[in-house]
Structure 1
Amino acid sequence: MKFAPLDPKIIPLIIKHAPKAGELIVKQAQKIEAVNKILQDLDLNPTQIPDDVDLVYVYALVEYGVFKPEAILNVLRKKRIKDNFWKAYTSNSPFQFLENTKDFLKEHQELERKILINRLDLSAELEEFGEVFISVAKRTASGKFKPYPDWDLDVFPKEFKALILEKTRLFCGREFVFEAFDKFLQTKPKGYFTVIGDAGMGKSAIASKYILERKVLCYFNIFAEGRNKPKQFLASIRQQLIKRYGLQNEENSDLPTLLQEASEELSEEEKLVIVVDALDEVDKEGDGNLLDLPQNLPDGVYFFLTRRLYSQENKRLTVSSDTPYDELDLRKGGNEISSREDVKEYIHLFLRMDKSEIKRWIQELLKKQDNGASGEVITLDQWRQEQDPPFSQIEFENLLAEKSQNNFMYLRYVLPDIATGKYKDLSLKGLPEGLQEYYITHWKRMGMDQDNKDINVKILFILVVRGDAVSSDMIADILYEDISPIEEILDQWIEYVTPKKVEEDRKEKTYYTIYHRSFLDFLTKRPKLDQNKNKKRFQDVINKIDIFLDIDF
């Protein structure tokens, strides 16, 4: 297929909305507003995308291009590039598109020079554009764009790509964090920088946004998936360093050696940044630093770390006197005020969403087309106006931010709950206060306060004791129950447990974990799940867990 010529107005309109020089983290509301205005100026409907390949390319270029350097836009607007993109899309060969684009730039040295001047990672930019195109194509629901290709140019480790994109989909603010880290990079020759905050304060989203914008190396410790061990961390970072810096014969090198070798490949102004999320979820092996992080770092090497609040004995990060270390606590001083403003901006985003945008966001969040989002939804603004008495928008944002206690995780779940009608009989003032009270509503919805739900209690006990994934058939064996009623209960808990299908012995099994470490921590403190206070109820279960799961009590 050959593309039609691109409307010459598109690039100037996109450039018109470019950010101020040096601006990195763009406010989501600002970007949405700019995209809608550009599309309207082009006489295109922002919400009704035509079933046309040329126009989908235009929509994708606008959504991708807002706040992007003109250099990459002038490449993507070229007809040859568009033709190569569609050929790669329909043949599921993104790497061929990358190679074709590199060949094109060799023939157009002025465009190539501008890409280099802007220090653009071509692979990352082409991957991001492809992802945006696929997102737009899916919104047309047209068969001509199917099957959707696996548009992966290995910019991020594959195991973290979906997480990074999900965490940054509705990212807001946090400029004060990035500014603090940028200052650390500018004033320190190397070092560790740690962001500290309570569960749900957006630490993983901050890490993801920095990774997405700066295309740096990364690792996410995920307790629920068992992805939190030093050997796993080293294997992932080793592979990324070898690939990024072309290191030779380093397949068995330790982290200090790898960092030294990589630092020697850096130019005078270049810095090597590695983002490591959730140090609090690390499996603590030995007595040394968490993940065996080095006490000494070579010049030009920086770690951006995130973790929950810790006691001094659990810090487990000792650095040498010549390796700078700094912390930013999201809960303290001016940071708390900045976090409150970011929370209000996040709420403001939802107030501006129409029903179709709300429904699409909930479907993406739940990864399940028939779980709440398939029915009728209401907008947050509609719910605001139905309050008695109704609140002004500013009052509403302030009150909901206060309810959230500056907690993004609270909003991530309460806002779709409002949209799907779970709080239709409650006023704003009747919403849960903060994450802990919200977890109490989880507890009640799971039937834990009902005396006739003994099997529910035992299933949850197994999940809590296990900590990470356990299969439904294993739970059935422990409780001496059929699998069907066990899975029926677990399916009812889809908001609170995460299912994952795994093929074992040519059979598909479903494993379940508590959806977030902070909710698991909440459950471990519930008296009803305390084995010492419920010995009669749990004795048989404990004996079988000891046999099946090899857990010592």
Structure 2
Amino acid sequence: MIPFKFVEYIRQFIDSNGLDTEIRKANINISAELEEFGKIFISVAKQSTSAKFLIPPDETYPDWDLDVYPKEFKALMDDKNRLFCGRDFVFEAIRDFVEKEKKGYFTVIGDAGMGKSAIAAQYVLRYKCPCYFNVFTEGRNKPEKFLASIRQQLIKRYSLQNAETDNLQTLLQKTSEELKGQKLVIVVDALDEVKQKENSNLLDLPQILPDGIYFLLTRRPYNQKTKRLNLSPETHSDELDLRIHKYQILSQEDVKEYLQLFLENDKNDKNKLSNWLEERKIYDDIFIQEVVVKSENNFMYLRYVLPAIANGEYDDLKLSDFPKGLTDYYNSHWDRMKMKDKNKEIEVFVLFILMQSNTSPTCKIITEIIKKKEEFKEVEELEVERILAGWCEYLKEQKIEEEVCYSIFHASFLDFLRKKVELKENRKIFEDIKKNMNIFLYRNDEINKILNS
């Protein structure tokens, strides 16, 4: 636990002295620096043989492992924290709530692409707190998976005894007793993506929290029916809605900062984007001003559009003709891929399979599902691979047992696909596809047969 206290003290020092912006502009990875410092410190402590560095009761040296979040979230964390900037008003609101209340829930609310997951990931990176990221497209959004992950994290962090089968309320009580006056924030992202049939609180979050325990939640806007977070009066809660006008103004400044950071520091596309601007004689400040308006303060829009510009996908458009907002961008890409053409049936099948899958299928499995339709029995895996490559910016690739598996990257794109007429589930052309999906995606023996053939 000592390394985490040290990190907490460092974060307090940085926050109280307003050093966060300077550190970020200097491109300093504070977590990496602290990790390196800790390893050297422990090494020197061991050489000194001084007993004051030993931790009771086992009298061992601390394990300086600051990478405390589960490995399953590492890729997501890295992606969300790349070129992160701004959002100071959000972190200040969270800090004020934690300082004011003895315990409670703080929720960040916003539409798709407003940066909720990035805020959650950055908070975890800064404060090294336990976390869980719900991802609907990967099936990582169920209470039992959440509990298993949080249980493992808390046991590791606080050396909780006889906690292997504890429910969430008991785990939090045991953790509270270990805090000894300190405070712990647990981050839970995308509460709206949770799949849970019962009418209880989402993820079975407790109505009453023990002292010193806080949850930082993120979610899309909700109504009373979908809220599903009933709390005892003694457990306080607060919300920050990114859609509110005053926060929209602050978010606009963050978008400007992100654009400037991208132009200066993005390793993959900054040079290509600079060349694009030079060829068209567009000044950086004009570009930033125009894209801020087009983005509608949506960071997911920026994630897609900036690399697309750098890689020549908008060479035929003037800056003023760029799509406006995330949905307009998705529609623009849909049209550019000519998805309404009659010869796009195989591509429509591929997207439908990804949209409907509760698992992450391989290219081979997607091909086999399509080939079961008599008129497409000659479809080759190479063609499906080419189609997947054409949509790569919207897909997440991950290796499972040495096989590359695919899933929809972001819930906002999944929502977009579900609204497309071409992908409506009740279309007759999908009848065989759905039957074949039941065979290949939900029967483990069939999956293993395909993977090992």
**Smaller-chain TM-score range?**
0.7 to 0.9
- Partner in structure 2 of residue 256 of structure 1: 169
User: Structure 1 residue 545 and structure 2 residue 437: aligned?
Assistant: yes
Could you tell me whether the CA contact under 8 Å between 1:172 and 1:342 is conserved in 2?
yes
Question: Equivalents in 1 of 2:310, 2:249: separation in Å?
Answer: 27
- Partner in structure 1 of residue 391 of structure 2: 493
Where relative contact order (Cα < 8 A, 6+ residues apart) is larger, the structure is 2
- Amino acid across the alignment from 2:396: T
- Amino acid across the alignment from 2:43: N
1:211: how far off? 0.8
Question: Equivalents in 2 of 1:302, 1:445: separation in Å?
Answer: 46
* 1:209 maps to which of 122, 133, 137: 122
Q: Secondary structure at 2:343's aligned position in 1? A: coil
Q: Secondary structure at 1:439's aligned position in 2? A: helix
Could you tell me whether the CA contact under 8 Å between 1:467 and 1:514 is conserved in 2?
no
Q: Secondary structure at 2:217's aligned position in 1? A: strand
Q: Which runs of 5+ in 2 are unaligned?
A: 1-12, 54-61, 372-378, 444-453
- Partner in structure 2 of residue 361 of structure 1: 268
* 1:517 maps to which of 411, 420, 428: 411
Question: Equivalents in 2 of 1:101, 1:421: separation in Å?
Answer: 52
Cα shift readout 1:502-530 (whole Å, capped 9, x = no counterpart): 23xxxx54322122111011000001111
Within-5 A mapping of 1:350-499: 350-353=262-265, 358=266, 360-361=267-268, 378-387=271-280, 390-391=282-283, 393-480=284-371, 481-499=379-397
- Partner in structure 1 of residue 3 of structure 2: none
- Partner in structure 2 of residue 43 of structure 1: none
Question: Equivalents in 1 of 2:409, 2:30: separation in Å?
Answer: 34
User: Structure 1 residue 312 and structure 2 residue 220: aligned?
Assistant: no
1:298: how far off? 0.5
Structure 1, 463-472 or 97-106: larger mean CA deviation = 97-106
Cα shift readout 1:37-80 (whole Å, capped 9, x = no counterpart): xxxxxxxxxxxxxxxxxxxxxxxxxx446998xxx79x94xxxx
Within-5 A mapping of 1:11-26: 22-23=16-17, 26=20
- Amino acid across the alignment from 1:383: W
- Partner in structure 2 of residue 157 of structure 1: 70
- Partner in structure 2 of residue 134 of structure 1: none
Q: Secondary structure at 2:405's aligned position in 1? A: strand
- Partner in structure 1 of residue 46 of structure 2: 103
- Partner in structure 2 of residue 289 of structure 1: 201
Taking a change above 3 Å as real, the CA distance of residues 426 and 101 of structure 1, as seen in their structure-2 partners, is farther
Q: Which runs of 5+ in 1 are unaligned?
A: 1-18, 36-62, 86-96, 113-121, 128-152, 363-376
Within-5 A mapping of 1:17-36: 22-23=16-17, 26-27=20-21, 30-31=22-23, 33-34=25-26
* TM-score, with structure 2 as normaliser: 0.84
- Amino acid across the alignment from 2:289: N
- Partner in structure 2 of residue 274 of structure 1: 186
* TM-score, with structure 1 as normaliser: 0.69
1:541: how far off? 2.2
Q: Secondary structure at 1:511's aligned position in 2? A: strand
- Partner in structure 1 of residue 376 of structure 2: none
Percent identity between matched residues is 50
Q: Secondary structure at 2:132's aligned position in 1? A: strand
Question: Equivalents in 1 of 2:190, 2:19: separation in Å?
Answer: 22
Cα shift readout 1:417-456 (whole Å, capped 9, x = no counterpart): 1122222232211211111011113323444122211111
Question: Equivalents in 1 of 2:387, 2:272: separation in Å?
Answer: 30
Question: Equivalents in 2 of 1:460, 1:383: separation in Å?
Answer: 31
1:107: how far off? 4.6
Taking a change above 3 Å as real, the CA distance of residues 512 and 314 of structure 1, as seen in their structure-2 partners, is same
Could you tell me whether the CA contact under 8 Å between 1:279 and 1:290 is conserved in 2?
yes
1:98: how far off? 7.1
Question: Equivalents in 2 of 1:546, 1:107: separation in Å?
Answer: 63
- Amino acid across the alignment from 1:544: N
Could you tell me whether the CA contact under 8 Å between 2:359 and 2:441 is conserved in 1?
no
Within-5 A mapping of 1:60-79: 63-64=28-29, 76=37
Could you tell me whether the CA contact under 8 Å between 1:174 and 1:342 is conserved in 2?
yes
Could you tell me whether the CA contact under 8 Å between 1:502 and 1:511 is conserved in 2?
yes
Could you tell me whether the CA contact under 8 Å between 2:31 and 2:126 is conserved in 1?
no
- Partner in structure 2 of residue 344 of structure 1: 256
Could you tell me whether the CA contact under 8 Å between 1:288 and 1:316 is conserved in 2?
yes
Taking a change above 3 Å as real, the CA distance of residues 166 and 106 of structure 1, as seen in their structure-2 partners, is farther
- Partner in structure 2 of residue 177 of structure 1: 90
- Amino acid across the alignment from 1:239: Q
